[in-house]
Structure formats: C-alpha cells, structure tokens
Structure 1
Amino acid sequence: MATTRKTTRTKKCPDCKGTGEITETVRVGSVRKARETTDRQAALCLTCFGTGRPLT
C-alpha cells in the first residue's frame, strides 16, 4: 500500500512577508539633526537574514 506524502508548509517571515528584503527610510544630516526624506532603499531583513523564513 502506498503511503501519502505530506508537504510541510514553511512559515513566512512576518516582517518581510517571505521576500527577504524590507525598505528603509533614507535619513540625511548629522546625528543630532537627522531628518527623514521621502526616499526609500532596500535593506536585508534582520529577522530572517534574507531567507524569507523566521530563524526560530
């Protein structure tokens, strides 16, 4: 008799939704007077380190 194969679902990272990248706001100026601009840049997700799955 053949056994049925169960597929395991991997959980997606809640921060990046499984893509491995997030967007960050660009800040300009010195540390004391840093202001945010309307520009965004891609950054590596620190929750999953770019894998798309939570590490825990």
Structure 2
Amino acid sequence: MAPRRTATKTPKNTPAPVPIEPAPCQPCGGTGNVAITVRVGRKRRPVGQQDGLCLNCLGSGTDPDA
C-alpha cells in the first residue's frame, strides 16, 4: 500500500493581502502622454503642442522604478 500524502492547509482566518497600487509616473503624471512642442519654419519657431508617448513609463502611467 502506498504511503498517504499529507498536505498542509492554509488557515481560513488570515486576511487577504491588500494590493499595493503602483506610484504614478513623474513626467506624465500617470496619464501616459506628455506634451511635445511642435516647431516649424527655418528659424524653428514653436507653433503649438501635440501629445506624445511618455518614454519613461512607455504609456502605462506607472512609475517603472517603484
């Protein structure tokens, strides 16, 4: 006859672990987009701004160093 396997059971009274929310990215403020100045002309004068992908968090909005 094969030996019986005994498995340890986890206690049922332990509270569930609280998920830790990641910190927002500093350059984009957690949005994933940053404003990039658009320049035109020979003297490269600024005309306006457009949205660009945040290169620090790659658009996720969370701080990669946290």
TM-score range, shorter chain: 0.7 to 0.9
* Unaligned 5+ runs, structure 2: 1-12
Greater C-alpha Rg: 2
Task: Return the match for 1:36 from 35, 38, 46.
Answer: 46
Higher relative contact order (CA 8 A, sep 6+): 1
- How far does residue 12 in structure 1 lie from its aligned partner after superposition? 0.5
- How far does residue 50 in structure 1 lie from its aligned partner after superposition? 0.6
Give the TM-score taking structure 1 as reference length: 0.77
Task: Return the match for 1:19 from 13, 31, 47.
Answer: 31
Question: Identity, % of aligned pairs?
Answer: 36
Let me know the Cα RMSD of the aligned residues. Answer: 1.4
Q: Find out whether 1:53 has 2:62 as its counterpart.
A: yes
* Unaligned 5+ runs, structure 1: none
Give the TM-score taking structure 2 as reference length: 0.67
1:49 counterpart letter in structure 2: L
CA distance in 2, matches of 1:55, 1:9: 13
